[in-house]
Amino acid sequence: MEPEEINSRFNEELQQQIQGSLPKGHIYKLGCPGEILQGSGVPDLPIELKAETLTEKADPNYKNYHPFELSEVKDLPKYINDPVAVTSYGDKTKAVNIITEIKQNEKTFLAGISINPEVGGKKLNINSVRTVFPKDIDEWMNWIDKGKALYVNEAKKRRLVANPRCPGDVTPASAYNIEK
């Protein structure tokens, strides 16, 4: 299936989840990692996300709640495979964090992926999205500064960190020869 079809199917299924009509136990199929993710160490295995994980992470009663609406993760497969950055999370052979361009105020959404996780001593042969939530830009920028970056799209990073409320404090996009 082509990336556009995968993204479209995800959005249709996400709408069903929002409406409460998605079958219980549904698992989103987000395609396979593209060149950027594979170059960051993510193996060429299907990327999956349990619908219940989205429900849990968006629930205001969740213990590590980062408020968001399910509708905010529209186009997630597209953004995962064209990230702003990929950073290691502990052992980079076991997990990575993908910083997406999905914005929520002064935050961008992070997708945490377990790389070919093992359950009961058996490899699952998938890349499992274990978490999705909005993350403060300064927090993931700190990960990059600490050398945890496996990939960074500098143009996207600059656009996200530019502060539109203080235009005098930032270098205009034209100075970087990037699109606004």
Instruction: Look at residue 173 and tell me if it is in a domain.
Output: no
Count how many domains the chain has. Answer: 1
Instruction: Look at residue 129 and tell me if it is in a domain.
Output: yes
Instruction: Look at residue 168 and tell me if it is in a domain.
Output: no
Q: Give me the DSSP letters along 7-26.
A: HHHHHHHHHHHHHT-SPTT-
Instruction: Look at residue 178 and tell me if it is in a domain.
Output: no
From the CB of residue 53, how many other CB atoms can be counted at a distance below 10 Å? 17
**What pTM did the predictor assign?**
0.85
Say how far apart CA 93 and CA 98 lie, in whole Å.
Answer: 14
Structural domain including 25 reads 3-162
Instruction: Look at residue 87 and tell me if it is in a domain.
Output: yes
Instruction: Look at residue 113 and tell me if it is in a domain.
Output: yes
106-127 pLDDT, tens digit each? 899 999 999 999 889 999 999 9
What's the whole-number mean pLDDT along residues 63-67?
72
Instruction: Look at residue 142 and tell me if it is in a domain.
Output: yes
From the CB of residue 131, how many other CB atoms can be counted at a distance below 10 Å? 19
Residue positions counted in the chain:
180
Nearest to 128 by CA among 144, 116, 146, 145: 116
Tokens matching residue 149: 């970056």
